[in-house]
Amino acid sequence: MDDLLSQGLSLLFVIGSVYSLLGVLFFRIWLHQRSAKLPIERNKLKRVAAQTLQEQVNNQIVDVIGLVCLATLMIIMPFAIKGIAEVFASGKFNYFFIILIVLVLAYVARKLWVKSNDLIKLKLGRDAELAVASELIELQSHGYQVFHDIQADGFNIDHLVVGPNGIFAIETKGRHKRIKDETNYKVKFEKNRLAFPSWFESKPLEQAQNQANWVNKWLYESTGFNTQVLPILCFPGWFIELKQKPVFPIVSHKQMVKTILSMQQVNLNQEQQRAICYQVVQRALNDSKAI
């Protein structure tokens, strides 16, 4: 086999290996975009602290990682091409290494598929919580205190609101809208379960209640106030249709502020509100120090 042909085959082998992995990633994203879309448009949400900087940081991280990968590839490629070309030229193939390379590529491709699924879910959850947080900003003008991402025992409380009419533990659930359900983006609460256009769920109801119970227990132990904490379950970007009355509010993010302001859960005086907020802040500070 002549040098030009062997070098061409080795270059094709190296580039093909890299692009086959990228192909797996882009194919997974393409499949997802064909079947589902985000329930909310992030560019229409209220701005949050350091959002511009966070977006710039994310872009810079992608650029830095890309440059490092490009530099690594450019440094390794000449040696890889030379080594592979020599193998092709000699005609003596080490099948052990060929099988090893194939297995490694298959393993990395599988991990990329799984990690891309995780990334899609994480992005959905992040955007859903940002949608709720941007709506809760309005409550501050009504004298409410709003906290986010409170770390509990092995889980977190997405949002915690403290005001004169009670304490509200908000559980936010992001759910993609499936393209095939385009004419019916509605969540119905009936038969004690959540009926989406193509599936049913009940676990979020239990989770929201359990987390509110945890907050109630924790605040009672911290402050001595046995004040009931009301759970609220939120599905940003979805229209909520209540076929039966739920035990606690089930809302879209746009209904959040109106729902909380209309609730007459309990009456908390200023001293109680300050004591509760103090404990929440202390927990947040302690968790930050532990990281």
Tens of pLDDT, residue by residue over 93-104, are: 777 777 888 898
- Topology of the domain covering 141-290: Trna Endonuclease; Chain: A, domain 1 (3.40.1350)
Measured distance CA(91)–CA(179) in Å, rounded: 52
pLDDT of residue 58: 82
pLDDT of residue 5: 66
Q: Dihedral (C-alpha) 237, 197, 195, 168: value to the nearest 10 degrees?
A: -10
pLDDT of residue 40: 83
Residues 6+ apart with CB under 8 A from 43: none
In terms of C-beta density within 10 A (0-12 exposed, 13-18 middle, 19 or more buried), how is residue 247 classed?
exposed
Residues 6+ apart with CB under 8 A from 6: 84, 85, 86, 88, 89
Return residue ranges of the chain for CATH 3.40.1350.
141-290
Measured distance CA(227)–CA(232) in Å, rounded: 16
Measured distance CA(227)–CA(212) in Å, rounded: 11
Measured distance CA(219)–CA(225) in Å, rounded: 7
pLDDT of residue 3: 66
Residues 6+ apart with CB under 8 A from 170: 132, 136, 157, 158, 159, 160, 161, 231, 232, 233, 234, 256
Cα dihedral sign for 60, 61, 63, 64?
positive
pLDDT of residue 244: 94
Mean of the per-residue pLDDT values of the chain: 87
Query: What whole-number percentage of the chain has pLDDT above 70?
Result: 92
pLDDT, tens digit only, all 291 positions of the chain: 456 666 676 777 777 777 788 888 889 889 988 888 888 877 777 776 666 777 788 888 888 888 888 787 788 777 777 777 777 677 777 777 778 888 988 999 999 999 999 999 999 999 999 999 999 999 999 999 999 999 988 899 999 999 999 999 999 999 999 998 877 889 999 999 999 998 999 999 999 999 999 999 999 999 988 888 999 999 999 999 999 999 999 999 999 999 999 998 788 999 999 999 999 999 888 765 555
Note the pTM of the prediction, 2 decimals. Answer: 0.82
pLDDT of residue 81: 74
From residue 243, give the alpha-carbon distance in Å to each of 187, 194, 195, 209.
10, 10, 10, 20
Q: Cβ of 63: how many Cβ atoms within 10 Å?
A: 10
Contact status, residue 186 vs residue 238, Cβ threshold 8 Å: yes
* Secondary structure (DSSP) of 125-138: HHHHHHHHHHHHGG
pLDDT of residue 69: 80
